[in-house]
């Protein structure tokens, strides 16, 4: 994940700036829940590394975002306030522009596997395997009414 970030990052400095501004607007930090924003350096590095194979799609989404910012506010996207940035992203996502969907997906993937975020949700920061999880058996006596009703399949 984050440690896989390589120096051959295909994103230009401009693209990285727009991308950081976007992901920070999508998921901002929260003092209440003690969680970082998606533009936190560790999470952002993970997002950049994960987005690398999708560079063309992501770059075209970033271009769309910049042009929406220029058209509506005549301002570079990173210079807009967080609420405006979030609303531009939201509008583009609703218009089902594929690149924005990809970016939202990558952001969620990287954000919700960060140790700090997982802990804030009460999860142990680990992979599911090998320890697995416990779930309760539940109350099998709930089947009683189903048994009492009897056969429902059709004889042929």
Partner 1 sequence: MTDPVDVLIVGAGASGAAVAWSLAETRMRIVCLEQGDWMNPAEYPSAGRDWEARAYSDMSISPNRRNRETDYPVNDANSPISVANFNAVGGSTILYAGHFPRFHPSDFRVKTLDGVADDWPIDYGTLEPFYAENDRMMGVSGLAGDPAYPPKESVMPPVPLGKTGQAIANGFNKLGWHWWPSDTAIATETYDGRDKCINLGACSSGCAQGAKASTDITYWPHAVRAGVEVRTRCRVREITTNGDGMASGVVYFDRDGIELFQPAEVVIVACNGVGTPRLLLNSTSGRFPNGIANTSGLVGKNLMFHPYASIQGIFDEPLDGYRGPGVCIWSQEFYETDLSRDFVRGYTYEINRGRGPVATALTGMFSGRIPFGEGHHEAYRQLFSRIAGMVGICEDLPEEHNTVTLDPELTDGHGIPAPKIDYTLSANSRRMLDHAVARATEVLTAAGAKDVITEAPIGVGGWHLMGTARMGTDPERSVVNEWGRSHDVKNLFIVDGSIFVTSAGVNPTRTIQALALYIADSMKKRLANLFD
Tell me the number of residues near partner 1 by CB under 8 A: 63
Q: Nearest Cα to 68, choosing from 47, 52, 84?
A: 84
Among 19, 20, 21, 27, binds partner 1 (CB under 8 A): 27
Beta bridge partners of 35: 30
Q: Is 133 in the site for partner 1 (CB under 8 A)?
A: yes
CA 4 to chain centre: 18
Among 70, 98, 123, 124, binds partner 1 (CB under 8 A): 123
Build a one-symbol-per-residue string for 55-94: x at contacts with partner 1 by CB under 8 A, - elsewhere. ---------------------------xx-xxx-xx--xx
Dihedral sign (CA 145, 147, 153, 154): negative
Q: Is 155 in the site for partner 1 (CB under 8 A)?
A: yes
Relative orientation angle of helices 98-111 and 82-94, to the nearest 10 degrees = 120
Q: Is 149 in the site for partner 1 (CB under 8 A)?
A: yes
Q: Nearest Cα to 103, choosing from 23, 15, 1?
A: 23
SS3 of residue 30 by DSSP: strand
Q: Is 53 in the site for partner 1 (CB under 8 A)?
A: yes
Tell me how long the chain is. Answer: 156
Residues of this chain that bind partner 1 (CB under 8 A)? 1, 25-28, 30, 32-33, 35, 50, 53, 82-83, 85-87, 89-90, 93-94, 101, 104-106, 108-113, 117-118, 121, 123, 125-140, 142-143, 145-147, 149-156
């Amino acid at each position: 994940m984050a440690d896989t970030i390589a120096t051959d990052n295909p994103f230009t400095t401009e693209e990285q700036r727009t991308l950081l501004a976007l992901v920070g607007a999508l998921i901002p930090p929260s003092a209440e829940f003690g969680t970082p924003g998606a533009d936190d350096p560790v999470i952002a590095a993970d997002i950049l590394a994960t987005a690398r194979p999708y560079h063309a799609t992501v770059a075209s989404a970033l271009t769309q975002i910049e042009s929406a910012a220029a058209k509506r506010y005549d301002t570079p996207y990173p210079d807009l306030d967080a609420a405006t940035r979030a609303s531009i992203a939201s509008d583009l996502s609703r218009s089902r522009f594929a690149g924005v969907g990809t970016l939202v997906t990558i952001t969620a993937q990287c954000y919700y596997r960060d140790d700090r975020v997982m802990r804030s949700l009460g999860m142990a920061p680990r992979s599911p395997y090998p320890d697995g999880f416990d779930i309760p058996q539940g109350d099998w006596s709930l089947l009683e009414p189903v048994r009492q009703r009897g056969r429902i399949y059709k004889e042929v």
